[in-house]
Structure 1
């Protein structure tokens, strides 16, 4: 299925190249290396793209750097977003450096470690009584009341084109067969997918989502938006219930497949990344490894890149998951 023609998306390759000049270099050129120990246990060649090797421990700042730079250029001084944790940290970091007042709305259910880091970066934090979708609604209310910019992850093109710079770095690296990308709102999947579809059309783009939070994957397969009543997964960073139609359209143009994985596989993936790569990661970052674990024949003999998208994890929860395998069992 891969290697097909490039279909039109909202993204622009010229803007993605230009984005590199607006993003602090500390977030660019993240390590990409072949991890033989991990590959041996997974039965394929595995390279990791380490998006945790930066001050906010996730890929999100690639997008918030663009947002904050453009706001500062226009003389705007305030911004608000809803966040499961990582976007809020990234926007806090990028906004503080440019003199922006940053407000973040998050669910009370978000990991305490992520909330503490948002506060430490100087952002105003408001907690919503509900899940991420309720936080999204509250952030929109605040933007309207205060007349400030609302950053909507994945809908705002800067968040996608910032993440797409990961794709530029992959396309410039050695050849590989498939890239495994955590799928939540879709910014990273559409961004990286667009670049690889354009510059490396032989690479298979596979999106991975938890079985307990399947809305975007179900939407991709149905080719129209499918919502869910709830999301039950330890991978809080990808636990949305309402896919954004414009983002789904982009994803349909660039992804070769979207798969769902069980919680037990996510936990096993986290454990393997610790034991065989020395990486402490949040559950969303283990989705790629989980996909290989659940379908080893598909990847046997292939060179797979998995994007390690975040490392902001509550250590108490991490210890429970990795050492006891404890976690919800949706589906």
Structure 2
């Protein structure tokens, strides 16, 4: 999909707006998992998630190859939309974003704050995406897909940073939404000639990629009813699946309850805020703890854009008894 030189070029584009994010070894997490753990903190980007990298590279290339582009349009549950809005504003392009009804209020506000026009449509991401495509055709706008080589090249820059900081990782857990993150990790690993095992993570309530991985062909689902909205995909991208089939060892499914536990653990053990997708890799590692003895483990904390209400429901009820006892 791209060469190491092209990945380095993408990193230079990203670095102009997004400083390299840290990769920390947290002793409490290592103790909990019984092995060495490194967390890549993509929750520390200016948009609070890894996808801002992809938007910057996609729009940079678009402006060079199509200088007369009128504007951008896309569909999202949040982080992809923030990425496009961030990059659009930086490059002087108007951005329209479709979100499903009932989408994260706080992510909607963040996209609007970056200057995007928001339109609510449909009951889930798939319906919003289909309507965005129709709008793009009517108004001659550039439809920004959720998966594209330039998006993958952009998000792969976090994997480049991580693997150069920790080239000795034995296994890396990566959440899967539409697939750009895990594909970027696979491609960066291969370009650097590393042997790190890459494990995808999906929700039990949105297992389209896990089902597709098992069937070795695209399998769609009728719903993606998970509170981890970054994992809420029911129609896999065929190109992404091809890369995942070639380069990932397996896909682990985690429940919303396991994700909630991981959000809470990341807060207590590292004082970092994780959205559902960002906590899913830790949930998967905890599920597979017996397999990890003696291995150096990487976790991609892909974002921290969690609504306060969801954080309260997932974290505070469990914290309350301990706090009451301490009092």
TM-score of the aligned structures, taking structure 1 as reference length = 0.92
Q: CA deviation at 1:231?
A: 1.1
The residue that corresponds to 2:153 in the other structure is: 161
CA distance, structure 2, for counterparts of residue 287 and residue 25 of structure 1 = 29
The residue that corresponds to 1:61 in the other structure is: 52
Question: Is structure 2 residue 1 aligned with structure 1 residue 16?
Answer: no
CA distance, structure 2, for counterparts of residue 259 and residue 28 of structure 1 = 31
Q: CA deviation at 1:28?
A: 4.1
**Correspondence for 1:141 among 116, 123, 134:** 134
**Equivalent pair of 1:270/1:281 in contact (CA under 8 Å):** yes
Q: CA deviation at 1:247?
A: 1.4
Aligned length: 316
Deviations 1:297-329 (A, max 9, x none): 01122111101111111111111111236xxxx
Q: CA deviation at 1:71?
A: 2.6
Shift in alpha-carbon separation, 1:136–1:12, aligned structure 2, 3 A: farther
**Equivalent pair of 1:171/1:200 in contact (CA under 8 Å):** no
Q: Which structure 1 residue ranges, 4+ long, deviate > 6 Å from structure 2? A: none
Unpaired stretches in structure 1, ≥5 consecutive residues: 1-9, 326-331
Deviations 1:161-220 (A, max 9, x none): 111111211221132111110011100001111111332432110111111100011101
Unpaired stretches in structure 2, ≥5 consecutive residues: 319-327
CA distance, structure 1, for counterparts of residue 62 and residue 2 of structure 2 = 19
Give SS of 1:169's match. Answer: helix
CA distance, structure 2, for counterparts of residue 59 and residue 25 of structure 1 = 15
Q: Which moved further from structure 2: 20-29 or 181-190?
A: 20-29
TM-score of the aligned structures, taking structure 2 as reference length = 0.93
**Equivalent pair of 1:19/1:66 in contact (CA under 8 Å):** yes
CA distance, structure 2, for counterparts of residue 11 and residue 159 of structure 1 = 12
Q: Which moved further from structure 2: 183-192 or 75-84?
A: 75-84
Give SS of 2:12's match. Answer: coil
Greater percentage in helix: 2
Which residues of 2 match residues 240-259 of structure 1 at below 5 A?
240-259=233-252
The residue that corresponds to 1:329 in the other structure is: none
Shift in alpha-carbon separation, 1:44–1:200, aligned structure 2, 3 A: farther
Give SS of 1:324's match. Answer: helix
Give SS of 2:157's match. Answer: helix
